[in-house]
Structure 1
Amino acid sequence: MGLAMATLTVLQALQSLYHDPEPAGKRKANDWLQEFQHSIEAWQTCHTLLTSPASPLEGRLFAAQTIRAKILYDLPQLPRDQLPPLRDSILTSLAPLAGTSAPTGSRAILIQLCLALADLALQMPEWSDIVGGMIERFGKDPATVNILLGFLKALVEEVGNPRLVVSDMDSMISSSAEPVIGVLNMYIQAPGITPAIQAAVFDTLRSWLQGGEVMASRVASTPLFPALFDALPSDQLFDSAVDCLCDLIHETQEVQENVDVIQNIVPRIVALQSQLEEHKDDPDRIRGYCRIVCEAGETYKNLIISHIDSLLPLVQAIAACAAYPDLDIVPITFSFWYGLATALGRQHPDNQSTRPLLDIFSNLQSVIIGHLHFPADNEQQTAQERDEFRTFRHRMGDTLKDCCHVLGATTCLRKSYDLVQAAMARGSPTWQELEAPLFSMRSMGGEVNPDDDEILPHIMDMLPNLPDHPRIRYAAILVISRYTQWIDRHPSNIAFQLQYISLGFHMAEEEVSAAAAQAMKFMCQDCSRHLIPFLPQLHDFVATVGDKLDQPDMIEVCEAIGYIIDGMPPDQAAPALQQFCQPLLERVQAVAAATTPLDKPELQKAADALEQINAFLRVVRTINRLPESCYPTALAVYQVLDSLLQKYSKLYFMSDRIGSVLRRGLLFFPPQALEPVLAPLLERMVSCFELTEYATFLWIAGKVASKFGDLTRGPGGEVLAGLLVRTFESMTTQLSVVLNGKTAVEIPDVMEDFVHTFIAYITFLPHATLSSPLLHLAVSHTLAALSCPAPETNLVCLDALAILSKRLGEQAFQSTLQPIFAQYGKAIVALLIQGMVADFVEDGLDQVQTVLAATVVCAPAQEVDGWVVEAVGGIAGHIVPLAEKQRFLEGVRAHLSAPSGSPQLKRSVNDLVRAAKRARERGREARQSIPTR
C-alpha cells in the first residue's frame, strides 16, 4: 500500500470510528486501526500524518499515540541506525506545539509525543546528555518551556514503565536530578512566570519526587519549597500546590533522615489551621487543606506521640476537618485516625502525657455520632443518596472502632449509652437522636469483650424503654444481633430479647422485619445451647406469624431455628427437625394432591414451603447417626416431590425449588435410606429433563453419581453402575436433541450443569462412563459448552477435558480415549487457542496445557500441524501480532519433534497468552488515548 493511500485509509478508518452511526462500522474500523498499529508501515504513515499541516486533529492525535505505542512495543522493527532520525522527527514535531499559537488539541498530542520521546530516550543509550540537550533546545524560550516540562515529567514517570526494558538508565535519571531542580528553580523565580507554567513546574517536581529521584531535603533547600506554600492562596495554583505538597510530605516518611526538613514543614502546616476557619464556606479549599494536614498526620504519627505538645495543633487541625459538615471531606481523615490509634494503642485514662490525644479521640467519637444522624428530611433524599449515606455510616463505624482501640470499648459504649439517656431525659427526642448512638453501639461491637459486665447489661436493660418508633426498633434489634456472643455468656435475658426481636416481625416496615430475621439468625447461631428450651415457643411463633412474613425473612428464621436443631443430640434433633418441616411438607402435599389445576398464588405457597425446608436442611445438612426410624421418611418425602414434579415440572420456579430440596435430601440421608428412591428418582430426572430441558435435573443426576459412585465397586455394583450410566446416556442423548434447536450459548446453565454431571461420572464411575458408546457425544457437548463466553463455564469444561487427558495416560482407557481425542482434536485445538487469547482466565492455563499436550499426540504430526496453522490463522492481527502467532506455531512444531517431557509446549502457551495480553493492553491504551465523541 502506497504512503498516500495508507494515510488516506487511516483517515477514513478514523472517520468511521468517530462518525459512523452503525456500531458494526465502528468495530470494524477499530479492529483495522489496532491491527495497522502493529505494522511496520505505521511508522512512516504516522510521521506523515503528524507533520502534515492538512491532517485533522483526529489524525494527528492518532499518529502521536501510535508512534508512542510503537516505541513502547515495536521498536525492534527498526534498525538501530534509524533511531536518531526517529528522535529528530519527534523533536521537530514538538516545536509547533509550543506557545499560545499551538493548534487546537495540541496538549493531548504534546503529552503523547513527550511520552514517546521519553520511551525512546530510555531505550537509546547512545543518546547522551538527554536532559541537558532538552534544556538547551526548549528551556530558553518561554514559549517552549511547556515542551521541556512535559518531557521531564514523562521521562521520570516512564522509568517505572514495566513494558520498557531499560539498561543503566537509573544512573542517567539520577544524574539528571540536579539539572532538573536547577531549571525548576530558575522558572519558579522567573519574573512574569505565568500560572500555567508555575503549575507545570509543580507537576513536574511532583513526578520527580514520586520517582524518588529528587529528595525532599533537596527541595526544602530551594525556592521551590516556599513557593509551594505561597501558591496556596491562588485559585489557579491551589490544586497543583496541594498535590505536590502531599507528595513532598510523603517523601519525608523516613523521619530520622529528614528531621531538618520536617522541622521546616511542620510549622508551615500548623499555620494552615487558620485557613480552615477562613475558608469554611469553600469545601474545595477545605478538601485541599485537609489532604495536606492528613498527609502530615499519617506521615508523622509516631512523632505526634513522642512530641504531643508541639504537634497537638496538627491533630487539632485534622479533628477540625473530621468535624466539617461536608461528608465528602470527613473520610479523608479516616486513615489518619486508624494509623494514630494503631500507633498509640490502648491508653489508660489517667495517663497525663497522652491526655490531650485521649480528649481528641473522645470528642471525635461525639463528632462521628453527630455525622451518623440521618437528616431531618430523610424522606426527601433520593434512593441513591440514602444508599451512599448508609455506606458512609459503615465507614464511620470503623473510625468509632479506632476510638475504642484507644479509649477502650467500655468507655466508648458508655458515651453512646449516655447520649441515649440524655436524649430520653430531655423528653420527646427525635428518632435521629436515639438511632445514631444506637448505630454506634452496633458499630463498636467487634471491639467489645463478650464478657463485659460494666455497660452492656445497662444497654440491654435500656432497650425495652426506648420509644416504639420503627427506626429505633430497627437499630435496637441490630444492637441485640451484634452482641449475641455476649448474650450467650449472659443468658438471663434471652426470653426478653427473643420476645423483643419477635415483636419486630409485627411492624409494618419491611426493614424492621429484615433486622428481626437477621437478629433471630445470629441469636440462634450463637446462643443455640440456651435456646433449645424455647423451641416450642419458636414453633408457635412460626405457626402464627410465618404466613405474615416476607419470604426472605422467613428463610432467615428457618435458618436460625436450624442452628438450634443442629446443636442438639441426634435423638432430639431428628424429631425437632420433623416437627418444623412437617407442616411445610403437608402444605406441599396438599398442592401435589389437588385434583384441579391451581393458580399461581397457591403454587407459590408450595414453592415457598419448599424453600423453607431447603433453608432448614442448608444449616442442619445431616444428622450424624440418623436414627433408622427416620429412613422411611426419605421415600415418603420423595413421593410427595415426585407427584409435584409429575404435574408442575414445566414451571421453572417449582422445578428449581424441588431440585434444591432433592439435593439437600441426597446429602441428608445415608445411602441405605435412599435405596428405595434411587431408581424412580433417576427415571423422573430423565423424563423431566426431556420435558423441560431445565438444568436442575442434570444437576441432580450429577449429585446422585457423586453420592452412589463409590458403591458401584461393591456387591451389586454392576447393576447400580448400569442404572447410573443409563441415566447419563439418556440425558446426553436428550441434550443432543436440545442442541438441534438451540446453540450452546443460548443455554449456558444447561451446558455448564451437563459438564458438572459429566465430571461427576468420569470421576466416580470412570470405567462405566468411559466405556459408554455415547462418550464421544458427551465430549462433543463439553466442547460446545467451552464455546460459551463465561469464565466459570470455561473452567468447568477445561477441568473435564483435563480429567479425560489424564485418564488418557492410563492403560485401561487409552483404547477408548485416543480415538475420541483424534476425532475432536481439530475442534479442541481451535477452542483452546481461541480461548487462550480471548476468554480463558489465568486459572485455566494449567488445564489448557494438559489438554493440548494430550491432544497433539493423538493424531499424526502433519495433521496436528494443520490444526494449529488453521486455528492460529483465524486470530486477528490486532489480537495477536503475526510474529507472535508464528512463534507459537514454531513452538508447537518443536514440541511435536521433541522427546517426551519437553517444556516447549508450556513455554509456547505462556508466550501466546502474554502476547495476547500485551495486545489487549495496547488496544486499551489506544482507546483511552484517542478522544471519543
Structure 2
Amino acid sequence: MASPQQQLLEAINALYHHPDEKVKKQANQWLEDWQQTLDAWSVSDAVLHDASASMEAHYFTAQTLRTKVQRDFEELPPGAVTSLRDSLIEMLLRYFKGAPPVRTQLCLAVAALQAHLPAAQWGEGGVMNWLVQRLGTQSEDVALPCMLEMLTVLPQEGGSYRPAVRPERRKQMVEELIASAPQALQVLSACLNQHGERLREQVLEAFGSWLKLCGGAGLDGATLAQHPLVIASLEGLQAHETFDAAVDAVVELIFITSSQGMPDQNMFPLVEVLVPRVLALRPRFAVAAQRAQAIEVTGCPAQVLALRPRFAVAAQRAQAIKDGKDEDAVEHGNFDDDDDTAKGMARVFAEVGEAYTALIATGSMEALKPVQALLEVAAYPEDNICAMSFNFWHRLARHLTSEFSSATESSADERRQRQELFVPTFEKLVALIRGRVRFPDNYDKWHHDEKADFKRSRYAVGDTLQDAAAVLGADRTLRLLLEPLQSVSAGGQFDWRTAEAALYCIRAVHKSTPNAGDAMLLSLFASLPQLPQIAPLQYTAAMTVAGYADWLAATLRAGHGQDIIPQLLQMLTQGLTGKESAGAAAVALRHICDACAQHMGVCLEALMQLYQRVQSCGTASTTGSSDLATTEADVQQVIEAAGLVVSALPADQRRAGLQALLMPILQPLEAMLQQPSANGSSTAGTASQRQEVSLALVERLTTVFKTVSDPHAVAEAYMRVMPLINAMFGRYGNDARAVETISRAPRYALRTAGKASGPMVNPLLEALPQQFAAMRHSSFLYVASELIKIFGQDGTHDAPLGQLFERLMTESCAGLRSLRDFNEHPDIADDTFLLAARALNYCPRIVYTPQLLPVLLDTSAAGILVQHRDACISVFTFLTRLLDPATLASCAAEAAVQLQAAFLPRAPLLMSLLLAGATGGLPHARNQEICNLLFVLLKVTGSQGLQLLAGAVSCIPDEAATAADRMELLQVANVTASLGPGADNLGKLEDAIDELSELCRRHKRAREAVQRALLPAELYEQTVRR
C-alpha cells in the first residue's frame, strides 16, 4: 500500500495532468477531504522538504499549510507550535528564490501564525524582532527576499478574518503589528541601502502596506518628512521600475495626513513635502496627455505610436553618453510615460484633491494648485483617466454648496462668495467633459464591451455635470451646454452626434432646472420636434423631455409654452415608430402625462387615439400589423400615461374615461376566453400563444386599475371584470407565473379603491381561501394582506377578516411543517409571515386566538433557520411584533393570556433556535433580526427569559466558547431584562451577540459543535449538512 505522501503526490499529479476530467474531479474532492485531516500537517511538511517533488506539489502543500494554520490551528498540541514555526521559517529560506508562489504561501502561513500567537510567545519585540533575529543569521541574498515579503504580507494580513482566532485576539494582533511598525520601517529603511530597482520596489510596496495598516498612528509628520522611506517614495515616482509601488506609497502618505478634508496639524511638515513633489509631476502628465492626444488624432494603433517616445528617450540617452554626460540627465519632458503611468499620476493628483477638499474649498491661492492639476486630468484624452478626477469634483461641489461642509458653519453669503470664486473652474470643467459623451464616428463597429464602457463613461460625465450645475446654477450650466447646439445650428452640415451629446448633457442636469418659462429652455423644447429622424438623437431628445417634465408643468402653470405640449406629443408619437427610440418615447410620454396631466386636455383626443393604436402592439398583438415599434413594456407606459390624464379629468368625466380605457382591453380578453382551452389551431394561434396574449391583456387591465385614481370607479369596474378574472384563474391556475400575473389585478384594484372597495370584500373573502387551497400560490396571501390593511383598523370587519385570516394561515402552515418545506417554498413562507405581520399591524385581534397562535408559533420554529433572506426576515419580523408589548397593548387583556399559554411551552426550543442562528445556523447578516427578537423576548419574559437563555447558552461546548465567553452574553442579557420595557439596551445586546457569533463561527469545527449542541438531530442534519 502506498504511503500517505505518495498518495498525496499521485492525487496532485492527477489533478493537474490526468486527461480524464472525471478523474480530475475525483482527485480534487479527495484533496479537499484530505486537507481536513490531521495528517495534512505532517505530510505537507514532508513534501515541502522533499526537493524531488514537483512544483505543483510544493505549491499545494504550502497552500495546505497556510490554510491549516489559519483555520485549524487549534488541532495542534501546545508543544508542536514551536516546531511548526521553525519549520515554516526553514522552508521559507529554502524557497528564497525560484518559487515565488510557494514563498508567498509560506509567508501567509507565518502571518497566520502571528495571528494566533501573542507577542509574548515570540519573545521580546514580538514577531518583528523574532524575524530580524532569525533571518539576520542568513546571508543577505537569502534573507533579504524573505524579509521583504514577510514585511509586505504581515501588515496586509493584519486584522484579516481568515485566521480562526478569537475576536479579542484579532484586535490584539492589529495592536501588536501597529506597535511594531516603527521597527518595520527601520528594517525597510536599511534595505534601501541595497542595490536593485526590484528590491527598491519591494521596499516601497511593504512601506505602503504598513502605512495602510497603521493609518499614521504613532507616526510624526516632522519625522516622516525627512524619513528615508518617504524620500525614496517620492524619488520612486521618477523611475519607471518603481513608479507603481511609489504611487501606492505616496497615496497612503497623503491619506494619513488628512483629517476631514483638511491637513492634520501633526502632519503639516509632511504635507509641505508631499504636495509640491506631487504637483511637480504636472509637466510629465502634460507630455503624456499630448502623446495620448497625438495617438487619438492620428488614429495610429497605440502599440505603434507608443514606441516613438521610447525611441526618442533612448536616442537622447545615447547622445548623452556620447557627449560624456549622465544618461539619467534626460529631461522629464521626454520621460517614457504611457497611459498606465499617466493613470498613476492622475491617481496621486486626485488623492491630494480628495484629501484636502475642505482646505481647497476655502479658495486660498496655495490650496488652488491641485485644482489646476485635476483640470488637466479632466482634459486627458482617455476617459478612464479623466474620470479619476470626478470624485474630487463631487466632493468640492458638496463642500461649496453645503452649509455644514466646512470645519465651521458658514453663512449663506460666505458660501455664495466661495461658489463665485470657483465658477471659472467649474465652467472649464464643463467645457472639458461635455464633449466626452459624443458618440464616436465608428461607434457601430465597436465591440459590445467597448460600447458598455462608453455608456458607463457617459453616466459618469452626467453625474459630474450635475455636480458642476450645483455650483454654477442652472442658467450658467445651460448656456455652456447649449453652446455646441448653437454651433451645430449655425449653418453647414448638421452634426447629429454633437447635437445628441449636447442634449444628453442637458438631460443630465435636469435636477438643476432654471425658472419656469426660461426662454433658453423653451426655445430648445420648441426645436426638438424639428430634429432629424435619427434613432440615437430621437432617443436622447425623448429622454430630455422626460427629464424636464416637471419644469414643463411649472412653465405651463406660469402661463408659458401652451403650444409646446401638442408638438411634443406628436414628436413622441413619431418616436414610438422607431425601434431604438420607442422605449424612450414611451417613458417620456408617461412622464409628461404625469407632470402635466392638468394641461393635457387639449391633447386628450390625440392621446386616446394613440392609446387605441398601441393596443395592437406588444405581447397582446394578434395581427402584428401596427406601424408602431413598441414592446409590451412600452405599451404599459402609454397605458399609464393615458390613465394619469384620465385621473386628472373632472369627476363627472373620469368614469367614462375609465370605461374608454378598459374597453380595448376587455373585448379581446373576452374573445380569448371564449375560445377553447385545448391546444389547437385558431385565428389567435396555439393555446400557449393565446395564454401569453391573455396574460398581457390582464397586465394592461392591472395597469389601468393601478393608474386611474378614482376609487369608486375602479371598485365598480373591478366588480364588472371579476367574472373574467375568475375565469382566468380557472383556465390558467396550474401555471404559477400566470397566477401571479392574474392576481395583481385584484391587488391593485384594492389598493386604488381603498375604502371604496366595500363591494369587493365579500366575493374576495369567499374566493381567496378556495383559490389558495387549489393553487397554493403566495399571491393570494398578498391580496388578503391588502384587505386587512384597508379594513383591519376600523373593527367592523373583524369577524369576516378573522375567518379569512384563519383559513389562509391554517392552509398555508399545513404545508410548512419543516425546514425543508420552507427551503422548497420560500415565496409562500415569506408571504405567509408578511400577512401575519400585517395582521398584527392593522388587526392584531384576529391573531391572538387559541386556534392560531400554536399553529403560527410551531410554523415559525420550523422555519426560523430558513436560508432564504426574505422568508427568514419575515419570520423574525412576525415573532418580534407578536411578542412586542406595544402590539399587545392594542388588544384586550385576554390576548396576553392567550400568548403566554401558547408561547411559554415553545420558548425553550425557540431560544435554542435563536442562539443556533446567531452562532452559525444563519448568515451573520441575520444577527440584527436575532437581536431584535431576543431583546423583545427578554423584555416580555424577564427572569423566565433569562433562565431560558442561560439554559441554551450552557449547551454551547467549551471548544467553541469558554464559560467566561458565555457569561459575558448572560451578563448583558441580565442588564437588558432588568432595565424594564421602556429602557433601550439593544446596542449592547447586539455587540454581545456579535462577539459570541464571531467566536463560534471562527472555524468549521466550532460552528458544527455549537449547532450539534443546540439543534434537534433532524434539524442539525438539514442545516449543517446542507
Per the alignment, residue 295 of structure 1 pairs with: 351
3-state SS, counterpart of residue 468 of structure 1: coil
Distance 1:912 1:183, change over 3 A: closer
Distance 1:685 1:122, change over 3 A: same
2:65 maps to a residue whose letter is A
1:252·1:261 contact (CA, 8 Å) conserved in 2?
Answer: yes
Does residue 193 of structure 2 align to residue 105 of structure 1?
Answer: no
2:224·2:230 contact (CA, 8 Å) conserved in 1?
Answer: yes
1:856·1:864 contact (CA, 8 Å) conserved in 2?
Answer: no
In structure 1, how many angstroms separate the alpha carbons of the residues matched to 2:467 and 2:836?
52
Match of 1:286 among 342, 353, 368: 342
In structure 2, how many angstroms separate the alpha carbons of the residues matched to 1:760 and 1:180?
59
Per the alignment, residue 514 of structure 1 pairs with: 583
1:62 maps to a residue whose letter is T
Match of 1:245 among 244, 250, 258: 250
Per the alignment, residue 929 of structure 1 pairs with: none
In structure 2, how many angstroms separate the alpha carbons of the residues matched to 1:899 and 1:187?
55
Per the alignment, residue 930 of structure 1 pairs with: none
In structure 1, how many angstroms separate the alpha carbons of the residues matched to 2:815 and 2:99?
67
* TM-score, normalised via structure 2 length: 0.73
Higher mean alpha-carbon deviation, 358-367 vs 300-309, is at 300-309
In structure 1, how many angstroms separate the alpha carbons of the residues matched to 2:69 and 2:97?
25
In structure 1, how many angstroms separate the alpha carbons of the residues matched to 2:975 and 2:367?
70
Per the alignment, residue 189 of structure 1 pairs with: 193
Distance 1:274 1:766, change over 3 A: closer
Map 1:818-857; keep pairs closer than 5 Å: 828=910, 832-836=914-918, 837-839=920-922, 841-846=926-931, 848-849=933-934
1:123·1:166 contact (CA, 8 Å) conserved in 2?
Answer: no
2:501 maps to a residue whose letter is A
3-state SS, counterpart of residue 100 of structure 1: coil
Map 1:871-890; keep pairs closer than 5 Å: 882-884=959-961
Distance 1:102 1:610, change over 3 A: closer
2:197·2:242 contact (CA, 8 Å) conserved in 1?
Answer: yes
In structure 2, how many angstroms separate the alpha carbons of the residues matched to 1:787 and 1:63?
34
User: Alpha-carbon deviation of 1:662?
Assistant: 0.7
Does residue 574 of structure 2 align to residue 493 of structure 1?
Answer: no
Does residue 775 of structure 2 align to residue 692 of structure 1?
Answer: yes
Per the alignment, residue 616 of structure 2 pairs with: 547
Match of 2:488 among 414, 418, 423: 423
Does residue 504 of structure 2 align to residue 439 of structure 1?
Answer: yes
1:301·1:339 contact (CA, 8 Å) conserved in 2?
Answer: yes
Q: Percent identical across equivalent pairs?
A: 21
Per the alignment, residue 557 of structure 1 pairs with: 638
Distance 1:135 1:558, change over 3 A: same
Q: Give the superposed CA RMSD.
A: 5.3
In structure 1, how many angstroms separate the alpha carbons of the residues matched to 2:10 and 2:997?
27
In structure 1, how many angstroms separate the alpha carbons of the residues matched to 2:908 and 2:840?
23
3-state SS, counterpart of residue 636 of structure 1: helix
3-state SS, counterpart of residue 600 of structure 2: helix
User: Alpha-carbon deviation of 1:583?
Assistant: 3.9
Does residue 201 of structure 2 align to residue 117 of structure 1?
Answer: no
In structure 2, how many angstroms separate the alpha carbons of the residues matched to 1:125 and 1:513?
70
User: Alpha-carbon deviation of 1:726?
Assistant: 6.6
Per the alignment, residue 140 of structure 2 pairs with: 142
2:516·2:552 contact (CA, 8 Å) conserved in 1?
Answer: no
Match of 1:531 among 586, 600, 605: 600
3-state SS, counterpart of residue 328 of structure 1: helix
In structure 2, how many angstroms separate the alpha carbons of the residues matched to 1:770 and 1:309?
71
Match of 1:794 among 851, 862, 872: 872
3-state SS, counterpart of residue 428 of structure 1: coil
2:72·2:1003 contact (CA, 8 Å) conserved in 1?
Answer: no
2:939·2:976 contact (CA, 8 Å) conserved in 1?
Answer: no
1:609 maps to a residue whose letter is L
Higher mean alpha-carbon deviation, 367-376 vs 86-95, is at 86-95
Per the alignment, residue 808 of structure 2 pairs with: 728
In structure 2, how many angstroms separate the alpha carbons of the residues matched to 1:545 and 1:610?
15
User: Alpha-carbon deviation of 1:239?
Assistant: 1.1
1:621·1:667 contact (CA, 8 Å) conserved in 2?
Answer: no
1:240 maps to a residue whose letter is A
Does residue 891 of structure 2 align to residue 812 of structure 1?
Answer: no
User: Alpha-carbon deviation of 1:440?
Assistant: 0.7
In structure 1, how many angstroms separate the alpha carbons of the residues matched to 2:15 and 2:882?
45
In structure 2, how many angstroms separate the alpha carbons of the residues matched to 1:898 and 1:221?
53
1:46·1:67 contact (CA, 8 Å) conserved in 2?
Answer: no
Distance 1:665 1:405, change over 3 A: closer
2:798·2:846 contact (CA, 8 Å) conserved in 1?
Answer: no
3-state SS, counterpart of residue 884 of structure 1: coil
Per the alignment, residue 209 of structure 2 pairs with: 207
1:443 maps to a residue whose letter is A
Map 1:593-612; keep pairs closer than 5 Å: 599-612=687-700
Per the alignment, residue 280 of structure 2 pairs with: 271
Higher mean alpha-carbon deviation, 278-287 vs 901-910, is at 901-910
Higher mean alpha-carbon deviation, 351-360 vs 542-551, is at 351-360
1:142 maps to a residue whose letter is E
- Aligned residue pair count: 891
In structure 2, how many angstroms separate the alpha carbons of the residues matched to 1:896 and 1:704?
39
User: Alpha-carbon deviation of 1:45?
Assistant: 8.9
1:17·1:27 contact (CA, 8 Å) conserved in 2?
Answer: no
Distance 1:788 1:427, change over 3 A: farther
Does residue 461 of structure 2 align to residue 383 of structure 1?
Answer: no
Superimposed CA distance per residue, residues 245-274 of structure 1 (whole angstroms, 9 cap, x where no aligned partner) = 222233444266555544444443343233
User: Alpha-carbon deviation of 1:306?
Assistant: 7.3
2:768 maps to a residue whose letter is M
Distance 1:700 1:375, change over 3 A: same
In structure 2, how many angstroms separate the alpha carbons of the residues matched to 1:811 and 1:7?
72
1:320 maps to a residue whose letter is E
In structure 2, how many angstroms separate the alpha carbons of the residues matched to 1:783 and 1:50?
50
In structure 1, how many angstroms separate the alpha carbons of the residues matched to 2:473 and 2:977?
66
User: Alpha-carbon deviation of 1:221?
Assistant: 1.8
Distance 1:101 1:487, change over 3 A: closer
In structure 2, how many angstroms separate the alpha carbons of the residues matched to 1:261 and 1:829?
56
In structure 2, how many angstroms separate the alpha carbons of the residues matched to 1:185 and 1:419?
55
Higher mean alpha-carbon deviation, 511-520 vs 486-495, is at 486-495
2:931·2:989 contact (CA, 8 Å) conserved in 1?
Answer: no
In structure 1, how many angstroms separate the alpha carbons of the residues matched to 2:250 and 2:899?
67
In structure 2, how many angstroms separate the alpha carbons of the residues matched to 1:594 and 1:216?
84
Superimposed CA distance per residue, residues 480-515 of structure 1 (whole angstroms, 9 cap, x where no aligned partner) = 222222212222335434542453344443441211
In structure 2, how many angstroms separate the alpha carbons of the residues matched to 1:834 and 1:24?
33
2:380 maps to a residue whose letter is Y
User: Alpha-carbon deviation of 1:518?
Assistant: 1.8
1:480 maps to a residue whose letter is V
2:397·2:468 contact (CA, 8 Å) conserved in 1?
Answer: yes
Distance 1:168 1:60, change over 3 A: closer
2:761 maps to a residue whose letter is L
Distance 1:44 1:766, change over 3 A: same
1:293·1:318 contact (CA, 8 Å) conserved in 2?
Answer: yes
In structure 2, how many angstroms separate the alpha carbons of the residues matched to 1:171 and 1:635?
70
Distance 1:602 1:762, change over 3 A: same
- Uncovered stretches (5+) of structure 2, i.e. residues with no partner: 162-166, 292-305, 307-337, 403-411, 618-629, 679-683, 1008-1026
Per the alignment, residue 877 of structure 1 pairs with: none
1:329 maps to a residue whose letter is I
Higher mean alpha-carbon deviation, 598-607 vs 85-94, is at 85-94
User: Alpha-carbon deviation of 1:198?
Assistant: 1.0
Per the alignment, residue 93 of structure 2 pairs with: 96
1:139·1:145 contact (CA, 8 Å) conserved in 2?
Answer: no
Does residue 392 of structure 2 align to residue 336 of structure 1?
Answer: yes
Superimposed CA distance per residue, residues 423-471 of structure 1 (whole angstroms, 9 cap, x where no aligned partner) = 2335333432211111111112223334472532232233233222121
In structure 1, how many angstroms separate the alpha carbons of the residues matched to 2:715 and 2:373?
71
Does residue 727 of structure 2 align to residue 655 of structure 1?
Answer: no
In structure 2, how many angstroms separate the alpha carbons of the residues matched to 1:694 and 1:67?
50
User: Alpha-carbon deviation of 1:647?
Assistant: 3.8
Per the alignment, residue 754 of structure 1 pairs with: 832
User: Alpha-carbon deviation of 1:798?
Assistant: 2.6
- Uncovered stretches (5+) of structure 1, i.e. residues with no partner: 874-879, 927-933
User: Alpha-carbon deviation of 1:788?
Assistant: 4.1
3-state SS, counterpart of residue 490 of structure 2: helix
